[in-house]
């Protein structure tokens, strides 16, 4: 392999001649061989870095801090990075020390060397365009990395919101389809009172959908950035007016309601927004996992379980039991939920452990949040398309379980009183007779009226008020 020689404050180092990254990226490659996952795996972060660098370049040009000839080449290089053309050059491990410095340097070097190409120079000829003196002008890792991180999070949140909406639409459609299927509700895994299968699915739709507003609120919070803070929030090495200009430029480039944080020192050190988002993802995960547990339980059997619904068969379920089909899609989503719930602890500890004016653990926070957002988005889409849409009901089985349940006696409590209704349940259990038969055999005058109250369809809503 051919090499070019580059140097930094630690000395000289060989860099592959065709690489757009440089010596500092190469040192990070050597130091941080941890997850095996390059930062380019999360393409939204690369796009956001390009947007931040472009905004900074335009602000520096507007303030006459950067010659137009250099600035225009950097802007074009940022466009190329944003397009995904150079994703393969973002090679730094997503898990790293240095508070994201290696990611920022990876961006500086790739953009610089692409700008050198655009300007007609060779890679590594930094006396024409320099990764720090020009591409990183008026910036620090400590405002570039968190700003790009927040922009990327907003984009991933938008994908999750779309996935949640899709899943809710599927659940709502099943709510309508199963609106007339009467079944038994259960509390503590014991018979409760009649309900419709459609109402059960509709309730899941509400459970899923109510998180959309919370996520939209979260994305607005994340649009508050510390760009212009430079090292710790004082704006050292920038000039008066730069912070306002770069934030305005960034809002225009991204199309997001980007705004500058009220206190740049606070915004540089605090990771509270990430803890909030992680908590939201945990909440979403807990709720969708519960729904998947319910789906697996309601479809259990097919002959020895509840079997109220049928999940679509997507693959054979056993290497030893012929014909067995497992609820693999809900199982998959359960596991995604467990991963995200575990990630929340990592985010919590990393946010709490940042000292003084900077949280150095943003890379592990980023990794866990990016992973959680991506996995949940894909899980929601998979659950809708590979499971929910293909669910069918077993109305006869549902009604059979209702008629065989003593939970319907609940409807008699307002008429007969709790104690007498409980006595009927006990008699039915001991004799094997149904409640209506016991009522008629008791000889009460209003047996027909009492038995009419046991119609499951009459138990699906509040009863009419008796004004007598």
3-state secondary structure of 183: strand
Sign of the torsion angle spanned by Cα atoms 342, 346, 348, 349? positive
| DSSP reduced 3-state for 239 | coil
Predicted local distance difference test score (pLDDT) of residue 436: 81
| pLDDT at position 39 | 96
The token pair that represents 88 in the structure block: 């393969």
With beta carbons less than 8 A apart as the criterion, state whether 247 and 341 touch.
Answer: no
**Residue-level pLDDT at 406:** 77
Which sequence positions are flagged as catalytic?
318
The phi and psi torsions of 191 (rounded to 5 degrees) equal -55, 135
For CATH 1.20.200.10, the residue range(s) in the chain are: 149-222+270-396
Answer for the pair 112, 130: CB distance below 8 angstroms, yes or no: yes
Gap between the Cα atoms of 245 and 61, Å rounded: 11
- Cβ 379 vs Cβ 341: under 8 Å: no
Distance CA 184, CA 197 (A): 9
Please give the full DSSP string across 256-308, using - where no structure is assigned: S--EE-S-HHHHHH--HHHHHHHHHHHHHHHHHHHHHHHHHHHT--SSSS--S
Stretch(es) of the chain classified as CATH 1.10.275.10: 3-137
Cα–Cα distance for residue pair 397/279, rounded to 1 Å: 40
Which of 132, 56, 125 lies closest to 101, judged by CA? 132
Tell me where in the chain the CATH 1.10.40 domain(s) lie: 405-459
For 5, counting Cβ atoms within 10 Å of its Cβ (0-12 exposed, 13-18 middle, 19+ buried), the class is exposed
The pLDDT, as a whole number, for residue 465 is 66
CATH 2.40.50 fits 405-459, yes or no: no
Cβ atoms 236, 139 nearer than 8 A: no
**Residues in the chain with pLDDT < 70?**
444-445, 464-468
Q: CA 119, CA 462: separation in Å to the nearest integer?
A: 76
Cα separation, 314 vs 298, whole angstroms:
18
| Beta bridge partners of residue 358, listed in sequence order | 355
Phi, psi of 62, deg, nearest 5: -65, -30
Considering the domain 3-137 in this protein, what is its CATH number?
1.10.275.10
CB count in 10 Å sphere of residue 385: 14
CATH of domain 149-222+270-396: 1.20.200.10
C-alpha closest to that of 56 among 151, 144, 128? 144
């Amino acid at each position: 392999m051919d090499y070019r020689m580059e140097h930094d404050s630690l000395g000289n180092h060989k860099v592959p001649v065709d690489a757009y990254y440089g010596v500092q990226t190469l040192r990070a490659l050597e130091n941080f061989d941890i997850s095996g996952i390059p930062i380019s795996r999360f393409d939204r972060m690369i796009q956001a870095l390009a947007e931040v660098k472009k905004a900074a370049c335009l602000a520096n040009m507007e303030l006459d801090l950067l010659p137009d000839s250099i600035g225009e080449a950097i802007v074009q290089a940022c466009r190329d990075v944003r397009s995904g053309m150079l994703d393969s050059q973002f090679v730094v491990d997503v898990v790293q020390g240095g508070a994201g410095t290696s990611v920022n340097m990876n961006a500086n070097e790739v953009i610089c060397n692409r700008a050198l190409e655009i300007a007609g120079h060779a890679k590594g000829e930094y006396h024409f365009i320099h990764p720090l003196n020009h591409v990183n002008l008026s910036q620090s890792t400590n405002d570039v990395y968190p700003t790009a991180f927040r922009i990327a999070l907003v984009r991933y949140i938008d994908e999750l919101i779309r996935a949640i909406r899709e899943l809710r639409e599927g659940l709502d459609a099943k709510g309508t389809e199963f609106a007339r299927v009467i079944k038994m509700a259960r509390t503590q895994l014991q018979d409760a009172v009649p309900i419709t299968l459609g109402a059960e699915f509709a309730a899941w739709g509400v459970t899923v959908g109510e998180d959309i507003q919370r996520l939209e609120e979260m994305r607005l919070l994340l649009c508050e950035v510390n760009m212009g803070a430079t090292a710790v929030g004082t704006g050292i090495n920038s000039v008066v007016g730069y912070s306002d200009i770069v934030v305005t430029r960034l809002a225009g480039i991204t199309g997001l309601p980007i705004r500058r944080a009220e206190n740049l020192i606070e915004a540089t050190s605090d990771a509270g927004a990430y803890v909030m988002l992680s908590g939201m993802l945990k909440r979403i995960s807990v709720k969708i996992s519960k729904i998947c547990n319910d789906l697996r339980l309601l479809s259990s059997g097919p002959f020895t379980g509840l079997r109220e619904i049928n999940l679509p068969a997507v693959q054979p379920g056993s290497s030893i039991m012929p014909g067995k089909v497992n609820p693999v899609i809900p199982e998959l989503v359960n596991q995604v939920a467990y991963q995200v719930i575990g990630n929340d602890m990592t985010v919590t500890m990393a946010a709490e452990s940042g000292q003084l004016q900077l949280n150095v653990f943003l890379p592990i926070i980023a990794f866990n949040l990016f992973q959680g957002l991506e996995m949940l988005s894909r899980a929601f889409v998979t659950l809708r398309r590979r499971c929910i849409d293909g669910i069918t009901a077993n109305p006869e089985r549902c009604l059979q379980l209702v008629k065989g349940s003593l939970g319907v006696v609940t409807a008699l409590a307002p008429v007969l009183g709790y104690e007498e209704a409980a006595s009927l349940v006990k008699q039915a259990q001991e004799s094997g007779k149904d409640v209506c038969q016991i009522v008629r055999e008791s000889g009460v005058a209003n047996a027909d009226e009492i038995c009419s109250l046991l119609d499951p369809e009459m138990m699906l809503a509040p009863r009419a008020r008796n004004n007598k």
